[in-house]
Amino acid sequence: MRIVLLGPPGAGKGTQAARIIEKYGTPHISTGDILREAVKQKTELGKTAESYMSKGELVPDSVVIGIVAERLKNPDCASGFLLDGFPRTVAQAVALDETLKENHMELDAVISLEVDEDEVVRRLSSRKVCSKFGAIYSTAGGAVAPETCESCQGQVITRTDDQPEAILRRLQVYKDQTEPLIEYYSKAGILKPVSATGSVDEVFSRVVEALS
Ligand code: AP5
């Protein structure tokens, strides 16, 4: 299956992606994770990306499109993939269509996670992540996140772009640059809107239903 996960920051894309790849066995391609790893490794890409990411701005299309096009050439993507956080602009969506066409592939579904703004601000303000492999934790409702990751013992931290100012900027950027993709994929006939409120399990059941 070739799937795109769309939704505002904090909608639960990473959380649902972990479940989807476990169930369907598709490779998970998260541009956010790829860029954060580059920042951590202090590569040229990471140095370019960091200044945009920390402010909640998008990394330029010219940078991100090339990364995904290269990744999709990997043999593990031949029978399917899950794109999380890409595309994020109409230019990225058009480039993705072209890359897929060149490789005789088509998207099967675009899952659009829908959740209101107050809820995403709540979720992002209480998110903690593993600094090694990105496992996601939440301190919402008084929950306690571990100091080290339960899977790999990496340090559990707050993402730099989960500061209040960056959260608000990311939401604005989503509205201006990413929301138009809802119409783009609706016109293509592959948009599957899914309510992302309720528990993680409830949302996952809806995702599975949308994919069936
Ligand atoms: P990216 O990492 O993609 O961030 P994002 O889209 O802002 O999304 P998040 O990772 O913040 O949220 P999520 O939807 O994955 O939610 P999560 O599952 O963690 O991108 C980061 C940056 O990289 C961008 O700002 C940009 O600079 C750059 N970038 C990336 N891709 C790019 C591209 N294509 N082009 C240009 N730049 C790009 O959940 C959030 C919290 O909510 C967690 O604590 C979780 O436990 C909790 N939660 C999840 N589901 C539920 C639920 N059902 N109920 C209650 N809590 C829940």
Residue at token pair 């499109």: 65
CATH of domain 2-27+74-115+177-211: 3.40.50.300
pLDDT < 70 stretches in the chain? none
- Give residue-wise pLDDT tens across range 173-204: 999 999 999 999 999 999 999 999 999 999 99
Which structure tokens are listed for 141? 């409702």
Distance (Å) from CA 106 to ligand 1 centroid: 25
Tell me, yes or no, if 36 is annotated catalytic. no
Distance 13 CA to ligand 1 centre (A): 6
What confidence tens digit (pLDDT) does each residue in 76-99 have?
Answer: 999 899 999 999 999 999 999 999
SS3 category, 19: helix
Radius of gyration of the chain (CA): 16
| Beta pairing class for 156-157 and 127-130 | antiparallel
Residue 60 φ then ψ, to 5°: -55, 145
Domain layout of the chain by residue ranges: 2-27+74-115+177-211
Q: If you measure from the C-alpha of residue 120 to the centroid of ligand 1, how many angstroms do you get, rounded to a whole number?
A: 10
Name the phi and psi angles at 31, rounded to 5.
Answer: -65, -35
Establish whether 170 is a catalytic residue: yes
pTM of the model: 0.94
* Pocket around ligand 1 at a 6 A CB cut-off: 7, 9-15, 31-32, 35, 52-53, 56-59, 64, 85-86, 88, 92, 123, 127, 136, 138, 140, 161, 170, 199-200, 203
